[in-house]
Amino acid sequence: MPLMTAEQYENSLRALNLEVYMFGERVASVVDDPIIRPSMNAVAKTYELAHDPKYADLMTARSHLTGNRINRFTHIHQSTEDLIKKSKMGRLLGRMTGCCFQRCVGMDSLNALSIITYNIDQKHGTEYNQRFKAYLEYVQDNDLVCDGAMTDPKGDRSLPPHQQPDPDHYLRVVEKKDDGIVVRGAKAHQTGAVNSHEIIVMPTIAMGKADRDYAVSFALPSDAEGIVYIMGRQSCDTRKLEDGTLDQGNVLFGGHEALVVFEDVFVPWERLFMCGENEFAGPLVEMFAAYHRQSYACKVGVGDVLIGAAQIAAEHNGVEKASHIKDKLIEMNHLNETLYCGCIACASEGRMKPSGTFSVNTLLANVHKQNVTRYPYEIARLAQDIAGGLMVTLPSEKDLTSSKTRKWVEKYFKTRPDLQTTDRMRILRLIENLTLGTAAVGYLTESMHGAGSPQAQRIMIGRKINMAEKKRAALTLCGIDE
């Protein structure tokens, strides 16, 4: 099958039979639901750009399995150039959508599994890597969206999985059959889950022998029997149900998260990539996390949008020449480009693993993500500073269109004669959306907690730093005999 178009992608979602709940009721069509639809539009952009000659080099690649042209989101990295293009692709799509476009986690899951399944086979003589390659070829040939599912609810975090009061707080194997296994549990915070064709499950922490039933990785169609989706709420989400678009901020795109419940779901053996090899749970988590921490190049693209909106807000207010406004915009750009440096650096320093897959530099990927937990918040603060309080005290679009209030809204929120009040309101609503509304989930909260907590990155930085080498350098320069 050739690369899917955006229209074909939408039609492929319509063919799925997903069991999705939102606000306590089952969603009739995730494609047509006004709250979910903007997130589907963002994924569709990844298909649209793959057909644009201007972006084809970033958005597509050659499959190392078949030699076919494929979407880069289904590609296994074959060089540092691939890793760099991944970062550039993330920034491009972040800038074009102003939100999470939801395919990175699947791409990172595929690449991590290409490495870890090979390593398991080398130790245990299993056939996981061959199963994975067959699955990968299926994903590539059909140009599918994969949801990478790693985060368990975790229950009491002071206890390992097997000691939880409720054993289902970590997804686990509850039965083994001749033709497969049965799993039960849930995965939380699943970005883009109901916009995906496939769901790839991985363990969420390192595990001991007592947790072997929880050391499981597999892939299933997203509408497999027993999988249920419960949509998460986002700030200002019901604005999408209102008439008009002005109050939404981003009128085209959005994101979503969901709790994915596995209620005694059957997994055939050919879709299993780990089953009880607990010593590889930790390495899989770390490998996926390194890839996914690199993926936060997308926040640089969203930062581009926010910086542009702040510049326009300053111009609307007539303060764009003020020195302190210029300085704040310079600082926003400095922070944003520093983030870009991090994701490019960890890609450039990538290395090939025994499986043949290229992985990022783990230390630099974690340093990059640590910066992502901080810099977008400062960029957002400065954007709010420049925008002013009107960003959160604006009347609604209905007040702008009402025959009773329109004249006052237009009169008192107008700045320059050559500017439309509506345009000023739209820019302020976009800044609100990116820093406080639905998009703030993807730009701020996801920057903090996505791909692991800030402390998780600090732990990895501590592990990967070569302190002995630094000490040797100091000792040599001051003349101390080591």
Q: What are phi and psi of 41, to 5 degrees?
A: -60, -40
Compute the C-alpha angle 73/230/162, nearest 5°: 85
Q: b vs e for 136-150, b when ≥16 Cβ sit within 10 Å of the residue's Cβ?
A: bbebbbebbbbbbbb
> What is the Cα–Cα distance from 312 to 301, expressed in whole angstroms?
17
Sign of CA dihedral 340, 344, 345, 350: positive
> What is the Cα–Cα distance from 431 to 43, expressed in whole angstroms?
22
Tokens of 97: 């959508």
Pairing type for strands 146-149 and 198-201 reads parallel
Per the CB < 8 A criterion, the answer to whether 61 and 82 are in contact is yes
Per the CB < 8 A criterion, the answer to whether 278 and 245 are in contact is no
Q: b vs e for 97-119, b when ≥16 Cβ sit within 10 Å of the residue's Cβ?
A: bbbbbbbbbbbbbbbbbbbbbbb
Tokens of 195: 């916009």
> What is the Cα–Cα distance from 194 to 196, expressed in whole angstroms?
5
Per the CB < 8 A criterion, the answer to whether 172 and 213 are in contact is yes
238 is in an annotated binding site: no
> What is the Cα–Cα distance from 249 to 237, expressed in whole angstroms?
11
> What is the Cα–Cα distance from 23 to 325, expressed in whole angstroms?
42
Active site residues: 100, 104, 191, 257, 292, 296, 298, 446
* Annotated binding-site ranges for FAD: 191
